[in-house]
Structure formats: structure tokens, C-alpha cells
Structure 1
């Protein structure tokens, strides 16, 4: 066979150029590629092949006196009489910041309305907003009086004197666990959520009411992260150094944006937290460490959104538990999600088939990040 040597040399040169360009690209972007691909591969391998976090737990253990420094903050605002009623189905903590007055008001008027839940379902839910103090002294002083007035009006603020920053989120978690044990140990369920999360409280209440007392003892539900690696990108707010956490993967956990624990599980988490160094600022990963100490595993619920915002559609609202990223549209979503027509979408064969097709279109688009996984379309 005759070979055109000129063309052969041309393609060889082209191949050399492509190889050089590819090598250059990998060298320049290797750190990002490593963070996004290699690190996750290592983490999943560690999680599913090794899967032993006992030595991680041991490394975080400290003396009770040492552990107490993470719990020993002073209450500036407290609601020690909030849980006077004995029969409380859900104690719901909303992690907020001092300046987020509008978000708190929107939640009180919609999914966090205790009176609505009582009238609608005949059960008691207690909603509390958890705060630290503003990191800027000037703002701290300005906000103090406004928070006192807000608390006098609504009686639903809990504030301790730690600095309210992203790196102190674990302190905010410890506040919630400690408050529950001290002032509301009889609440059947414990929930933690961010103040930019929409909680479909009717769906959640129905779900909790269906759970038997036996099953509720080990309940921990949310959007489960398995084999998640610590973030080593120094530019990221999620950055965790090798010194703080040298291992390839976190224990399984649910994102702090929204999850539910039974009272027994919440108590065990609290007990574990009082034996640990709580300097790890990734609060949900810290909760995972507490859980492994107590032999507790989270259960994945596909309609807890984790970090994502749920699509706006009535076929989604019918099963929604949480949706993340709602800073200014809480009233809009509440109105749509609680519309009586939403419940009609689950009745009848045609309606169910229609909603399945809609959810497939919304949740199963390749390379498009949604709040719920594709498998949620078939539930």
C-alpha cells in the first residue's frame, strides 16, 4: 500500500502539538483537576474499600474539661420556657444571622408558623432561631437593641456570645444540641435548617406522623453525603488543612442546610460532642464524626435538597421536604407549594404518569445539577 509520507509527517506533527497542548493543560490545571476528580476518587476508594473511621474518632477525643470550652458560652438571649408543653412533635432550629430580620419574619409567616401547624395537623412544633454575635463590633452594638425588641415580640431567639462566622458553625451546632438536651429533651424529633432553606412543613409533618415509635429511635434523615473529601483549596471557605483533618474522606453526613434526628439520636450526638475537639468548622462533617462514635448512620431522603434549589413545579411540591437557596422568594414558594391543587396531582393514574414525565425532564438532565437526584422522579 502506498503511503503519502507528506501527509504522515503532517499528522505526526499535529499529534505532537495536541500532546504538548494536553500536557501543558494538565500541568497548569492539575491542582483543580486533582481537587475535582482525583481527590474524589481517592475519597470514594477510602470510604468504600477501607471504611474504618475508628482512628479518626480517637484522634478527635479530648478530656471532658477540654471539650467543655466549646460548650461554655453565655446566653445573651434564651427561651428556657419555650418547651413547656409535654407533647412536642418537632423542635426546629433555624440557623440565622443577627442582621437577617426579613428572612426570620418570612419564615415565621410561612413554613415556620407554629399556629398554622397546630391548626392544620393538631400537633405542636416549636421553632427557634439560633444566633451568635455579629463579627463587627460596630454592627454588634447597633443590632443588639433590635434583637432585644424582636425577641420580646416573638420570643423565639436563642443567642450565645460566640462570634457568628462560617468558621464557628460547629459552635452553633453544639448550641442546638445542648439546648435541646437542657430545655426540650422530650421533643420527639429535632431538626436543623438554614434560614435560606424552604421546609415543606406539611409534607414533613405527615412523614413524621407516619413513623412508628420503634423506627423513630434511630432516625437521621437528610441528603446523605458518602465519601466526601475535605476541601484542600485554600481559596475556598470550606478549606480544611491537613493538620486539622489529614484523612481522605469524611464519615457519612447530611448537609447542615436541613436534616432531622429523632430525640434518641440527638441525645447520642450531644453525648459524643462532649468528648471531642470541636475545632473542625465543617459542622455537618463534625456531626458525622459524632455519629460514627455512637454507631449511627444517616438515611438518605431524596427530597431533602442538600445544597440545591428545587425546581418550581407542582409535581415537585407534592413530595418536597426541603429546598435550599431561598433568600427572597419564601412567600412565593409557600403559596405555590401549599396550593390545594398540588395534592390533586397525586391522585389518578394520568396525573401520576404526567408528574413522572415532568420530574424526569426536571431532574434527569445530564450534566445539570439539581437539588434532587434522578431517581426521585420515579418515586
Structure 2
């Protein structure tokens, strides 16, 4: 009798635990789905199916509808900024009207065209892509300041769309269209955010090494593969199933920083003129256009994506981009510039390589310490 009661109590306890667990799963299913299940499904979809043939059939629009997004009026423009000039790199920085200090910091550091040409003998062009401030009252005040700023520096490109997260695709189209129309001879196009540090000396060396070939088929950055659409309605990255019903995005590089060769930029731009640009996540839209244009991204370990790189001399040797820099950009440029000068004057010896390997292992390989460059980057030396 007692044995039977014990068994009954155990069964009741198991039943209660099962019901409680089921309730927890039901209650938190959306979070579980967003955080884990959707990633597993999308990753499987990307590597098991990986055709994305639906893009051509489903996301295409008429040329007239496409023009609604790409044919925006220029409010500030510089049509002759790099026309018919020997420009290695056209570097577009996505900025906002009120970010005067960020633009000035970039002009004074890694975006200083005059310094780059004098120091490295390479011609680049740095421009800032802008829309209109969302607040009409602020917009009127900012317009005067922007015109004064542009009169002094002549490096702003502004179109008449509201500058917001949901219009980032319009800012992407601005860059592609401007490159195609006003700077067709630039060998490479780079897009970066205004809180990103670009190690321009390293970037130029990398592009020059790549340019020993035919300058073609380059799309390089931090590649995201098998990323799922975010279905959490409270996220700014939310994408409805009506807009994008599939399990995974095509491979893409984060909008914080990536580089396209001239031919790839043109092919992606032409593809964008036939696709639904109401898709508001610009880097994913770039990936969609690239898939249509049959272009695949190349992953580079020292593009940081959304992460912020550790500040250390051994990191600066190979750094391409680092995200999340505003107040520290001057100090970072000073250190990176110094390291670049040392590298040019002396070849690193064996002891320095061993030291840097140890330091990079400590900075990049310890769990939860870094979310930028992968651990295997610690064992790469001068592989720009």
C-alpha cells in the first residue's frame, strides 16, 4: 500500500513538473524561438537548401516602382568630386545631420584625404551620406549649419528622404547611385558608419595587394551566414513574414563597414533597380541584391562587424575596421598611425610575433572578453 502511494506521488510530481515545463515553454516560446530555434532552422536552411531562387520571383518590382526609392532629389551634391580622377577608394560614411563632431573627427583622422595622399601617395575620396532630420523644426536649423559645413569642406551628399533607421536602404541606394553616376572610375567603394574607425593605411595596403589582379569580384567585410529574420515585434530589426517569409537571409556583410570593387558595386546597383527597396535593413538588402547579381561576400577576420576591437598595438597591425568609436577616435588614430609608421620602417622580428600572438590570444580567445575578431585571427601575422 505504501509503495503504491509513493509511486502515485512520484507520478503526480512528474506530471506537475511536465505541465510546469510545458507552460514555461509556451510562455517564453517567442523568446526561445527568436534566440535559438530560428537560428538553428535558418542555419540549416542556408547550408541544406541555399538556392534563394525565390528572390528573383518574389522580390522583383517594375522599373517604375524601383525608381520611387532610388530616384531621390539631391539637396547637396558635388558632381565633380572625383569624376575622371585616379581614385583608388571612394569611402562613403553614413552620417546624420546633427553629427557634426563625428564628421569633424573623421576629417581630422582616418578620413583626411590630404594626409593619405601625402603619406601614402594614394588618392581617396571621403564623403558623408545624409538624409533629412526627422524633426521639421530641427531640420530648418540644421540646414543652415550643414550648408556652412559643406561650403567649408565640400564633402556632404544629401538627398530628400527622412534620415531614420527604416530608411537606411535609401542611404545605401544613394551611395551606389552616386558611385555609378559621379565616380565611375574609382576602383573600390567602401561604406562605413560614422562611429566606425577605419584603419586606412591597412585598408589601402590590402586593396593594393588585391589590385595586383584585375580589381574584380571583391565584396569583403565581416560575413554573416545563415542569419534568420527577426520576428520579435519589439526589435528595430523586426521583419514581418509578409515582407520576408523565408527562414534565412542570403549571406551579407554588416553595414558598419564593407568594401566593393568597381564591377561588383555596378552589378549590385543594377540589381537594386529591379528589387523591392522597401526592405528597410540595408545590409540584408545589399545581400539580396548581391544574390541576384551572383556575387558572394568574402570574409575578412579584421573587419569587426558590429563589435569594438581591443585597443592594443598588436591589434593595430592588421585592423581594418572597429565599431563603436566616437570620443576615442583621436587617441585610436594616433596609436594606429604610430604603429603603421613603425611597421613601414622595420620588419617585425620573431620575438615580436610571438609576443603579439600571446597578446592576441589573451584579447581575442578568452570567452566573453571580445566579440570582434575571431580567435583564429590571433595566429595570423600580416595577412592583410
TM tier relative to shorter chain: over 0.9
Deviates more, 1:310-319 or 1:26-35: 26-35
Specify the alignment match of 2:359 in structure 1: 358
Q: 1:361 to 1:18 in 2, by over 3 A?
A: farther
3-state DSSP of counterpart to 1:217: coil
1:92 partnered with 2:91: yes
Structure 1 residue 17, shift from structure 2 partner:
6.5
Q: Report if the CA contact (8 A) 2:309-2:370 is conserved.
A: no
**Where does structure 1 differ by over 6 angstroms across 4 or more consecutive aligned residues?**
4-17
Q: CA deviation at 1:15?
A: 6.2
Quickly say closer, same or farther: Cα 1:210–1:39, change in 2 above 3 A. Answer: same
Mapped to 2, the partners of 1:281 and 1:7 lie a distance apart of 60
State yes or no: 1:144 paired with 2:143: yes
Does the alignment pair 1:66 with 2:65? yes
Q: Distance in 2 between matches of 1:271 and 1:56?
A: 15
- Residue 27 of structure 1 deviates from its aligned partner by 2.7
Give the direction of change, closer, same or farther, for the CA distance of 1:230–1:122 in structure 2 (3 Å limit).
Answer: same
SS at 1:51 equivalent: coil
Cα 1:12–1:116, aligned 2, differ >3 Å: closer, same or farther?
Answer: farther
Where does residue 265 of structure 1 map in the other structure? Answer: 264
Which runs of structure 2 are paired with 1:176-215 in the superposition (5 Å)?
176-215=175-214
1:363-378 equivalences in 2 (<5 Å): 363-378=364-379
Kept in 1: contact 2:310–2:370 (CA 8 A): no
Unaligned runs of 5+ in 2: none
Query: In the aligned structure 1, how far is the partner of 2:188 from the partner of 2:201?
Result: 15
Counterpart Cα distance in 1 of 2:356 and 2:241: 46
The separation in 1 between residues aligned to 2:207 and 2:104, in whole angstroms, is 25
Cα displacement (A) at 1:327: 2.1
Could you tell me how far apart the structure 2 residues matched to 1:92 and 1:358 are?
31
Residues of 2 paired with 1:84 and 1:292: CA distance? 29
Residues 84 and 185 in structure 2, CA contact (< 8 A), matched pair in contact too: no
Deviation at 1:19, TM superposition (A): 4.8
Deviation of 1:166 after TM superposition, in Å, equals 0.3
TM-score (norm 2): 0.93
Structure 2 residue 230 is matched with structure 1 residue 231:
yes
Aligned residue in 2 for 1:313: 312
The answer as to 2:43 corresponding to 1:44 is yes
What is the rounded CA distance, in whole Å, between the counterparts of 1:347 and 1:147 in structure 2? 45
Give the whole-Å Cα distance in 1 for the aligned partners of 2:9 and 2:314: 57
In structure 2, C-alpha distance between the alignment counterparts of 1:349 and 1:19, rounded to whole Å? 60
Counting matched residue pairs gives 377
Residues 369/9 of structure 1: CA separation in 2 closer, same or farther (3 Å cut): farther
C-alpha distance 226-144 of structure 1, shift in aligned 2 (>3 A): same
Distance 1:156 1:75, change over 3 A: same
CA contact under 8 A between 2:91 and 2:127: conserved in structure 1? yes
Matches of 2:84 and 2:108 in 1, distance apart? Answer: 22
Aligned position for 2:76: 77
SS in 2 for 1:260: strand
The secondary structure found in structure 2 opposite 1:192 is: strand
After superposition, what is the alpha-carbon deviation per residue over 1:47-78, rounded to whole angstroms, capped at 9, x for unaligned? 00000111123211111111111112111000
